């Protein structure tokens, strides 16, 4: 009887192992690309939030402090200014070391780089100004797969322009409300009204410096300043004060998910579901903010409710 040809059996085994190794490597590559794509999408959401908070900052400067929306002084002078000029109102303060530890996210970070997002303020014409953010995508190498993965969701953001060197530029302009303020509220009222006036119907006051309404607690609210009483960012479980409103109106709030999921959470979880913001508790003077979203834990593949992140809030009278 002839003995089995052991050489051919070993060759077949090696060939099988090589095919399996190739399939595993291919699967790992697809999984890695999927993770990077989700990271890129979350970072694009981060950039959108940065743009919105810059506009909120400028809106406050214009409507509350009287800055001209067409001047560069209506924008924060630095990234630190966005966090510290009005502490906690537009971005939670976050140091470089806290960012590295995954405790919070700075507005100027880029996940693939140790460099920060660059910015400059520009006045291209006499009647406009912009806050321009430069995103250093070229550091990824413009011919690489990583570059294409990060660029894809960023290019979908409005007002993003791809530069010749491969970087991207996000231009943040003034909000429409700033334009309304400039055109209609900054008027020179030279006639002083005295006493109480009630015109009713479709009539209204024009060319008036200011009108105030009496609040329930006896204080007064300026109509020119608007009925939005406060805005800012907060975390799950934090309390926000209710505004004091005119007698015919009631305090109301609006919450929206702002992002800023800590890196430590992102490292342990994936498949983040839609965020839910809500009033967790309230008393006669405050609301407690709630934030929930469902994510899958990588270690056991089970779904958990997560509360880490940041919520945009507005309080106003309705």
Rounded distance, CA 310 to CA 261, Å? 7
Residue 136, pLDDT > 90, answer yes
Of the chain, the percentage scoring pLDDT greater than 90 comes to: 17
Q: Which of 104-113, 154-163, 240-249 has the lowest mean pLDDT?
A: 240-249
Rounded distance, CA 149 to CA 79, Å? 26
**What predicted TM-score, i.e. pTM, was given to this entire model?**
0.52
- What radius of gyration do the chain's Cα atoms show? 27
**Predicted local confidence at residue 223, as pLDDT:** 60
Q: Cβ distance 275 to 304 under 8 Å?
A: no
Residues 6+ apart with CB under 8 A from 18: none
Residues 6+ apart with CB under 8 A from 274: 293
Residue 306, pLDDT > 50, answer yes
Annotate 194-203 with b (16+ C-beta within 10 A) or e (fewer). Answer: eeeeeeeeee
- Helix ranges (DSSP H) in the chain: 6-65, 79-84, 96-100, 145-155, 176-180, 263-268
Strand boundaries in the chain, DSSP class E = 118-125, 128-135, 160-162, 168-173, 212-214, 220-222, 228-234, 239-241, 251-259, 269-270, 276-282, 286-297, 303-306, 310-317
How confident is the model over 39-69, as pLDDT tens digits? 888 999 999 999 989 988 988 888 788 887 7
Highest average pLDDT, of 6-10, 17-21, 68-72, 84-88, comes from: 84-88
Q: Cβ distance 152 to 40 under 8 Å?
A: yes
**Predicted local confidence at residue 139, as pLDDT:** 93
Rounded distance, CA 195 to CA 94, Å? 50
Highest average pLDDT, of 224-233, 250-259, 270-279, 282-291, comes from: 282-291
Closest by CA to 231, choosing from 313, 308, 304, is: 313
């Amino acid at each position: 009887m002839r003995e089995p040809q052991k050489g051919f059996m070993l060759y077949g085994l090696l060939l099988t192992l090589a095919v399996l190794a190739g399939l595993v490597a291919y699967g790992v590559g697809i999984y890695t690309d999927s993770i990077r794509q989700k990271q890129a999408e979350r970072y694009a959401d981060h950039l959108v939030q940065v743009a919105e908070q810059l506009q909120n900052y400028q809106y406050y400067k214009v409507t509350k402090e009287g800055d001209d929306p067409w001047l560069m002084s209506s924008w924060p002078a630095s990234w630190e200014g966005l966090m510290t000029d009005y502490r906690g109102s537009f971005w939670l303060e976050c140091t470089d070391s806290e960012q590295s530890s995954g405790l919070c996210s700075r507005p100027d970070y880029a996940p693939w780089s140790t460099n920060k997002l660059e910015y400059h303020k520009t006045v291209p014409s006499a009647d406009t100004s912009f806050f321009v953010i430069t995103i250093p995508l070229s550091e990824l190498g413009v011919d690489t797969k990583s570059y294409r993965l990060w660029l894809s969701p960023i290019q979908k953001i409005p007002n993003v322009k791809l530069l010749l060197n491969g970087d991207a530029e996000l231009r943040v302009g003034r909000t429409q409300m700033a334009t309304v303020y400039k055109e209609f509220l900054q008027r020179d009222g030279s006639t002083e009204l005295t006493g109480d006036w009630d015109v009713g119907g479709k009539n209204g006051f024009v060319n008036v410096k200011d009108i105030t309404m009496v609040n329930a607690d006896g204080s007064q609210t300026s109509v020119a300043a608007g009925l939005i009483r406060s805005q800012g960012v907060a975390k799950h479980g934090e309390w926000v004060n209710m505004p004091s409103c005119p007698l015919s109106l009631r305090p109301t709030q609006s919450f929206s998910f702002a992002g800023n999921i800590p890196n430590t959470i992102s490292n342990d979880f994936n498949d983040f579901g839609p965020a839910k913001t809500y009033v967790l508790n309230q008393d006669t003077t405050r609301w407690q903010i709630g934030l929930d979203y469902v994510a899958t834990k990588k270690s056991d593949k089970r779904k958990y409710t997560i509360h880490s992140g940041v919520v945009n809030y507005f309080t106003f009278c309705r």
